[in-house]
Amino acid sequence: MSQPPPSLDDLRIERRALPDSPTRTGPWLIVIALILVVGAIVWWFARPRPLVVRTAMARAVATAAGDRTVLNASGYVTARRDATVSSKITGKVTEVLVEEGLHVKEGQTLARLDDTNVQASFQLARAQLAAADSALQESRVRLKEAEQELQRFAALTKSNAAAQSDFDHAEAAALAWRARLAQQQSELTVADRTVAIWQQQVDDTIIRAPFAGIVTSKNAQPGEMISPMSSGGFTRTGICTIVDMESLEIEIDVNESYINRVAAGQPVEATLDAYAGWKIPCKVIAIIPTADRQKSTVRVRVGFDRLDPRILPEMAVKVAFRESGAVATTTADRGVIVPKSALLSQDGRDVIFVLQNGRAERRAVSVASSQDNEIVLSAGASAGEKIVADPPAGLTDGAAVEEGKP
């Protein structure tokens, strides 16, 4: 029997299937997770942080419908309510409780005078009052006893058990005690009034503020004598001077030739010599209806629309009386006011940065005017927007910013 011819299939090597080896994926997952955590931490600390910038609100330019000045004048800031506080009595100052610049309230104690003698007289008056009250109580008891005695003798006299003279004597005694009781009641009233007088004397040794205000001068020291009237020598006439800052106004002497240009309620623009760039809106309160014969002037009172701590008494001020009947308005076409430090020059153009949704938005602007530390922009910004004041170096358009004080 012949063998079959060889074929290529006979050359095939049969391999046995190897058992599946277990995969080790757990350590790789841990390594990948650690890499992600480290990457997140590195990104968190290396991420760009927003710049902290200082912002300022863009303000609209307020103008007047009648912007014409009809009269310029000068005057001084005065207080309608100020007083040099003194005492009602003459005495030695033992304590002064105020200093210049101190805010005081109405009724607050400013100083005390020596009350040694007054206190002694006050205690004596109180003792006399107590003695008068005790004597009155005794007289009431004696009167009650005399009235009871009178009632007994009246009953005995009706029954002829007592003589008429005894009844008359008892009746006289009762009347005498009634009169004495009335006298002692009057004496008690006098003693009570005496105590009240000395109590007032004690209160007069305490000097209190007549109204709320600020102490502008301190005129007395402990150990000095003070009197309500000048008596020469070293006697003081006042403890301190108090000014009510809520009563500040401007007092102006207007030449009587121009008083026809001033009217009550007329708008006024005031400028303090200490703050030349600060325009303060005011209005005429009243025109004093008399002229000064020596100076040929008429006094005009001008009130501030809103007081400010920078306004102090006796400051020199210049005022511009506006055309009467002008009404203050605010118009967007007159521009907005921003700090001068917010303006930058980039690529030959004036730009500012505006805070928008946590980002700095660069805008090209047109400068209308500049004065002191502020500028007026005629285009590029609107009233009410937050402008980046003092932009830090490296600030770019779209950069993340955070409002605050750098």
pLDDT, residue 180, reads 84
- CB contact at 8 A, 300 and 287: yes
CATH code of domain 82-114+206-243: 2.40.50.100
CATH class of 52-63+331-403: mainly beta
Which pLDDT score, from 0 to 100, does residue 244 have? 93
> Which pLDDT score, from 0 to 100, does residue 254 have?
92
CATH class of 64-80+247-328: mainly beta
Low-confidence ranges of the chain (pLDDT < 70): 1-26, 40-49, 62-67, 230-234, 324-334, 404-406
Cβ-contact 339, 387 below 8 angstroms: yes
Spatial CB neighbours of 398, under 8 Å, sequence gap ≥ 6: 359, 360, 361
Specify the pLDDT at position 15: 56
Nearest to 154 by CA among 176, 169, 139, 175: 169
300 DSSP β-pair partners: 252, 287
Give pLDDT tens digits for 10-64. Answer: 555 555 554 555 555 667 777 787 777 777 666 555 555 677 778 888 887 765 4
Query: By CB neighbour count within 10 A (0-12 exposed, 13-18 middle, 19+ buried), where does 113 fall?
Result: buried
201 C-beta neighbours (distance < 10 Å), count: 18
Those residues whose C-beta lies under 8 Å from the C-beta of residue 64, and which sit 6 or more positions away, are 267, 322, 323, 326, 327, 328, 329
Strands (E) located in 44-116: 51-57, 59-60, 62-64, 69-79, 82-85, 91-96, 103-104, 109-113
d(CA 381, CA 363): 8
Cα gap 248→304, rounded to integer Å: 8
